[in-house]
C-alpha cells in the first residue's frame, strides 16, 4: 500500500528550552492519526535544498487538536536540526509522509512509546 504523503504549512516555530524547538503545522486535509504515531519529514540539506532525506518526528498534538505539534531536540550539525533551527518558519512549506507506528495509547492501558513527545498526544483530552 502506498504511504500517504502531504504538503502543509508551518504555522510557527519557537525555542521552548535549550536546544529544544516546538513547531506547529497546519493539519493537512485528509490526515488522521492515533496518539503516539509519528511522521517522516522531507528534510533538505541546507547547502543543497534538492538533496532530501527523511527524518522521523513524533506527533505531540492529540488527534482532536486542530493543528499538528512537534517538539525537536537539536543534534549539533544534524540535518533536521539545522533545517528546524535555520529554515523552518511560519509560512514554510513542509512535506511529510505518514502517519506511522503502532505504539499508541488505548483506553484500557498505556503502550510504550519512543519519546516523551508522543506521550503528550495521548494525554490531551
Ligand atoms: C519513530 C521516531 C520518532 C522520533 N521522534 C522525535 C521527536 O519527536 N523529536 C526529536 O527531537 N527527535 C525525534 N526522533 C529522532 C529524529 O528522527 C532525528 O534522528 C533527530 O532529530 C536527529 O536528526 P538530525 O537530522 O538533526 O541529525 P542527523 O543528520 O541524523 O545527525 C545526527 C548526529 O550525527 C552527526 N553526524 C551526521 N552525519 C555524520 C557523519 N557523516 N560523521 C559524523 N557525524 C555525523 C550529526 O552532526 C548529528 O550530531 C525520532 C526518531 C524516531 C525513529
Residue 121 in domain: no
Q: Which of 57, 85, 116 to mutate to test the pocket of ligand 1 (most atoms within 8 A of CB)?
A: 57
Residue 33 domain boundaries: 5-111
In a domain, 48, yes or no: yes
Residues 115 and 67: their CA atoms lie apart, in Å, by 20
> And the C-alpha cell for 121?
498526544
Ligand 1 centroid – CA 90 distance (Å): 23
Residues contacting 14, CB < 8 A, separation 6+: 21, 22, 23
Domain count, the chain: 1
Q: Are 22 and 16 in contact (CB under 8 A)?
A: yes
pLDDT per residue as tens digits for the range 56-85: 999 999 999 999 999 999 999 999 999 999
Q: pTM for this one?
A: 0.90
Does ligand 1 come within 6 angstroms of the Cβ of 39? no
Q: Which CATH number belongs to the domain containing residue 66 in this structure?
A: 2.40.30.10
> Does pLDDT of 46 surpass 70?
yes
Q: Tell me the average pLDDT of the chain.
A: 89
Is residue 69 assigned to a domain?
Answer: yes
Amino acid at each position: 500500500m502506498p504511504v500517504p504523503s502531504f504538503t502543509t504549512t508551518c504555522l510557527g516555530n519557537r525555542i521552548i528550552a535549550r536546544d529544544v524547538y516546538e513547531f506547529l503545522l497546519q493539519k493537512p486535509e485528509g490526515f488522521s492519526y492515533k496518539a503516539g504515531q509519528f511522521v517522516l519529514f522531507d528534510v533538505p540539506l541546507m547547502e543543497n535544498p534538492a538533496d532530501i532525506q527523511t527524518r522521523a518526528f513524533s506527533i505531540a498534538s492529540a488527534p482532536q487538536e486542530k493543528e499538528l505539534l512537534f517538539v525537536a531536540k537539536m543534534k549539533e550539525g544534524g540535518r533536521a536540526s539545522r533545517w528546524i533551527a535555520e529554515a523552518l518558519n511560519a509560512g514554510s512549506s513542509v512535506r511529510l509522509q505518514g502517519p506511522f507506528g503502532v505504539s499508541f495509547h488505548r483506553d484500557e492501558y498505556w503502550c510504550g512509546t519512543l519519546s516523551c513527545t508522543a506521550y503528550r498526544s495521548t494525554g490531551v483530552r
